[in-house]
Amino acid sequence: MAVQTSTRVLTRDLPQHLGAVVTLMGWVHRCRHLGKLAFLILRDRSGLAQAVLEGELAARPLPEESVVAVTGPVALEPRAPGGVEIRVTQLRVLAEPTRPLPFELHRKEVRAGLEVVLEHRAFGLRHPKLGAVLRVQAELVHAFREYLRDQGFLEVRTPKIVATGTEGGASLFPVQYFDRPAYLAQSPQLYKQMLVGAGYERVFEVGPAYRAEDSHTTRHLAEFTSLDVEMAFVESEEELMDLETALLRHMFRAVAERAGECLALWRAEPPEVPDRIERIPVREAREILLRRYRKLTPEGDLDTEGERLICRYVAEAGKGSFVFITQYPESSRPFYACPDPDRPGLTRTFDLLMNGTEITSGGLRIHDPALLVAAMRKRGLQPEHFAPYLEVFELGMPPHGGFAIGAERLTALILGLANAKEAAAFPRDRSRLTP
């Protein structure tokens, strides 16, 4: 039989084609045979639609996840998704599964554990709810770009194979770079600063960052997407926190407007970002934790439990879902963090916590080359290893600062995912290198 000519449409647009003959292409989400009829729920990238098959067309078994093209007129059917269905006059089976499905996709919720879902990742992402996660993330990243471009930031790309670490600690992945040792970049930190010094003043990057984290937590990935921002001519970390507040507000509004259906599948709503997010110096946060929750926190950074409790404290005070923790001690920040001349031992840095979890680190940077060399030495780093970075500072570097947001953590917090790995297409962790 000759292939009938008709317009190919998406399931989402089916109602607009009432009465016309159209073709849908997608996967068999479900197929139920009732007497001489078969009701096929077809899934494509835009959603689900009902297709009705009759007679000979209905006789053929259509296993779930077969790939099909169906053609026929669009008719009203109040019981079908979108209030319309396609009455199939031609069916083409483009592919059929050749092995048993790892789990069912046609239910509202996937009935499989995280490890099984991740093991069969590309298959699992076909499920509307699981697939929605990456759609939400794509909108967040799009809005991140949109806002910053609008504010005069240039999108840049920096190398992911690097000669040195930047964030301290032992979390570096070594790689063999021809005949030399090298590492996967922990963050674009030094390069984004160099590009500020290159005269672009305002830059941002959306790129992978690598951390050889030995821990099995629900918030750490060995490879994550870092949303990095760096800008010149800022002289106070306050300006950076204000920029991040406005940026997040734009991102959250955009995702609510553009990915409403995806959010609904998770019953999620991005939290309201207040005009001014509360700031609490880390020392004060430790005192609050002790006073209110009898929790002892060692000097330096808050631990996971501390982050959770301080967010609870802020939320209970009616101040929303976010808090900036500020004034971290030098000992808990990397060498590039700008010391606070008015508060010896402390830095002009911040973390942003959202609903109990850190989503951002940032701060003012040291821009004086002599101070930078001293800060490196203080941490046992050899300035010679950072010569190309230091050169930009020696040739005229403006005061500057920036921050980075972890895209997977942000997505996970918005959707209420139990694990940030669910917000990566193909997550990497201590035990997972495939798929």
CB-wise, 71 or 360, nearer to ligand AMO?
360
Peptide bond into 334 cis (omega under 30): no
User: Is 213 labeled as catalytic in the residue annotation?
Assistant: yes
Of 127, 135, 219, 250, the catalytic one is: 219
CB-wise, 88 or 248, nearer to ligand AMO?
248
Of 29, 135, 202, 220, the catalytic one is: 220
Structure tokens at 236: 């106070």
How many other CB atoms are found less than 10 A from the CB of residue 265?
Answer: 19
CB-wise, 70 or 251, nearer to ligand AMO?
251
Residue with nearest beta carbon to ligand AMO: 406
Give the shortest CB-260-to-ligand AMO separation in angstroms: 25
Whether residue 49 contacts residue 11, with contact meaning beta carbons closer than 8 Å, is answered with yes
Of 43, 211, 365, 400, the catalytic one is: 211
Give the shortest CB-61-to-ligand AMO separation in angstroms: 44
Structure tokens at 81: 């998704």
Question: How many whole angstroms separate alpha carbon 406 and alpha carbon 209?
Answer: 9
Give the shortest CB-125-to-ligand AMO separation in angstroms: 19
Give the shortest CB-306-to-ligand AMO separation in angstroms: 15
How many other CB atoms are found less than 10 A from the CB of residue 39?
Answer: 17
CB-wise, 137 or 360, nearer to ligand AMO?
360
Whether residue 308 contacts residue 297, with contact meaning beta carbons closer than 8 Å, is answered with no
CB-wise, 212 or 374, nearer to ligand AMO?
212
CB-wise, 329 or 362, nearer to ligand AMO?
362
User: Is 358 labeled as catalytic in the residue annotation?
Assistant: yes
What is the contact surface with ligand AMO in residues (CB under 6 A)? 167, 187, 189, 211, 213, 220-221, 224, 226, 358-363, 402-406, 408-409, 420
Listing DSSP states for 119-158 in one string gives HTHHHHTTSHHHHHHHHHHHHHHHHHHHHHHHTTPEE---
Of 85, 167, 307, 358, the catalytic one is: 358
Question: How many whole angstroms separate alpha carbon 175 and alpha carbon 168?
Answer: 18
CB-wise, 53 or 221, nearer to ligand AMO?
221
Give the shortest CB-240-to-ligand AMO separation in angstroms: 9
Structure tokens at 254: 């955009």
Of 202, 361, 365, 428, the catalytic one is: 361
304: Cβ contacts below 8 Å, ≥ 6 apart = 217, 219
> 175: burial class by Cβ within 10 Å (0-12, 13-18, 19+)?
middle
| C-alpha distance from residue 330 to each of 279, 303, 347 (Å) | 18, 17, 6
Of 205, 409, 422, 428, the catalytic one is: 409
User: Is 211 labeled as catalytic in the residue annotation?
Assistant: yes
Whether residue 399 contacts residue 233, with contact meaning beta carbons closer than 8 Å, is answered with yes
Question: How many whole angstroms separate alpha carbon 97 and alpha carbon 106?
Answer: 15
Give the shortest CB-321-to-ligand AMO separation in angstroms: 15
- Please state the length of the chain: 435
Give the shortest CB-424-to-ligand AMO separation in angstroms: 9
Which residues are known catalytic residues?
211, 213, 219-220, 358, 361, 409
